[in-house]
Structure 1
């Protein structure tokens, strides 16, 4: 009857929509993997981040200062930037776990690759403590008055804040540091997917979806980094934060991870050596 035909038509429509969604997922993941897997484009990406931090603040003269992104209490600043490392670990950890385990089926190798995120967490914590130490060493205590700020002779931040005053020192932008470090880290980790696909390893819809979620998060970090350098912090504070983030990436991914006693670079030990097949012939 008419009811059966309606259900059949609905089922056909659902199958078409699923096919379109699957096609878009496969096409999008292939193109994103090709883009992130290009060494040339990754080098240009470093230049892009540097340009954003150095020249991005000039855009403050051409944007609306009342936009939601200019507020310290905006949704993105509270929910994403303040917890950027947690979001990065969640999304990127799932991607690394799937890629490494599907490629090797070895728990020890998977744990070794995931340990790069542990190192990243240590870098983030260490940098945060170092930034607070710099602010403590360079700061002074001020009492806010209707006429302005009055300098108070209090020895440290704790006693200053306990007295209800303000501590002013050199503040490295932790947001700029973290977003820069997360952008470089995610671009390096996600680049492995191009080689993974090229070797014909299992790449079903769940893995491709997780990969695209990481790509979207990387895009969000780039956008929020641009918003941060436009609306928040002083210029030198932002540049120093980004420089420290880049230096942290260089010490880990650019230097230490290439050593045998390190967690290894992304993709290390996952794929057969290109000449290995000839040795068996």
Structure 2
């Protein structure tokens, strides 16, 4: 556990991952649908009722909130033992959840406004012969929204944004942004000869596994259920949400009432945490300095 978590912390804390992970995710969203030409439609992942889709994809934010919130709490308590600091860092997850809730409801309203519900007609309803090769017409239902239309087993046609790809991209970027701090925390603890506890290392490892699951599910959606351009729009909105929070709002700092970046406030002063005997040896003694000045004047 010690070796694996240290290795993963160095990988996630490297400048390559911190600065270019969003480019990797963007390339996956753009070119992932190309894999649909090589994957098999008889694969178990081509079934939309697969266990991974039912248990993880429909509750993506819930899993991310639980694991990320636990990691932030344990990390902040391990660094400073300050409940107020832990609550301030946990507020980042709350703001991200509020953004996802508002974005989901806004997209639902836009889809209901831009789409239309249709009911397929039987060949006898449109007055055509049963042997007619013409495709049956559709009955229009203007009073239906998308949820009720699909629940009634009718057809919904309109512009939409893939909310699954949106939340997967947003959660991947959020997890990487929060976990990058762990490598810096390990470096700060080395001079103090302190090591993070086992619970913190375990929850960090679980967060990494969750990140891999989200990336795998994203790849499966793009390869087995390609929807252009709704999936690309969802990925773009997820990127913009991460950009607006971590590259915009959180950089304002606590003086503006913002929770700040993940690393803010977690760094402790090394000299202040050392034992008092070493601290007295390293700090200058004002009495000895005053004695030296008196001898020089004499």
Alpha-carbon distance change, 103 to 71 in structure 1, aligned in 2, over 3 angstroms:
same
Q: Which residue of 2 aligns with 1:135?
A: 111
Unaligned stretches of 5+ in structure 1?
Answer: 1-24
Q: From the superposition, tell whether residues 163 and 187 of structure 1 become closer, same or farther in structure 2 (CA, over 3 Å).
A: closer
Alignment pair present for 1:264 and 2:233: no
In structure 2, do the counterparts of structure 1 residues 166 and 205 end up closer, same or farther at CA, with 3 Å as the change threshold?
same
The answer for the alignment partner of 2:244 in structure 1 is: 251
Q: What pairs up with 1:114-129 in 2 under 5 angstroms?
A: 114-129=90-105
Q: TM-score, normalised by structure 1?
A: 0.84
Which stretch of structure 1 is more off in the superposition, 124-133 or 201-210?
201-210
- 8 Å contact 1:257–1:263 — kept in the other structure? yes
Q: Identify the residue that residue 166 of structure 2 maps to in structure 1.
A: 177
Structure 1 residue 134: Cα displacement? 1.8
Q: Superposition pairs for residues 140-159 of structure 1, below 5 Å?
A: 140-146=116-122, 147-148=135-136, 150-152=138-140, 154-157=142-145
The alignment covers a number of residue pairs equal to 257
Consecutive unaligned residues in structure 2, runs of 5 or more? 123-134, 274-282, 285-298
Give RMSD over aligned pairs.
2.5
Structure 1 residues 172-225: Cα deviation after superposition (integer angstroms, max 9, x where no partner): 101100000000000000000001100115412221111111111111111111
C-alpha displacement at 1:38, in angstroms?
1.3
How far does residue 153 in structure 1 lie from its aligned partner after superposition?
Answer: 5.2
TM-score, normalised by the number of residues in structure 2: 0.80
Larger Rg: 2
Q: Is the counterpart of residue 64 in structure 1 residue 40 in structure 2?
A: yes
The separation in 2 between residues aligned to 1:195 and 1:102, in whole angstroms, is 13
1:238 pairs with 222, 231, 255, which one?
231
Distance 1:254 1:149, change over 3 A: farther
Q: What do the CA deviations read for 1:9-38 (whole angstroms, capped 9, x no partner)?
A: xxxxxxxxxxxxxxxx11110110001111
Q: How do 1:1-281 residues align onto structure 2 when only pairs under 5 Å count?
A: 25-146=1-122, 147-148=135-136, 150-152=138-140, 154-157=142-145, 161=149, 165-200=154-189, 202-260=195-253, 261=256, 262-272=258-268
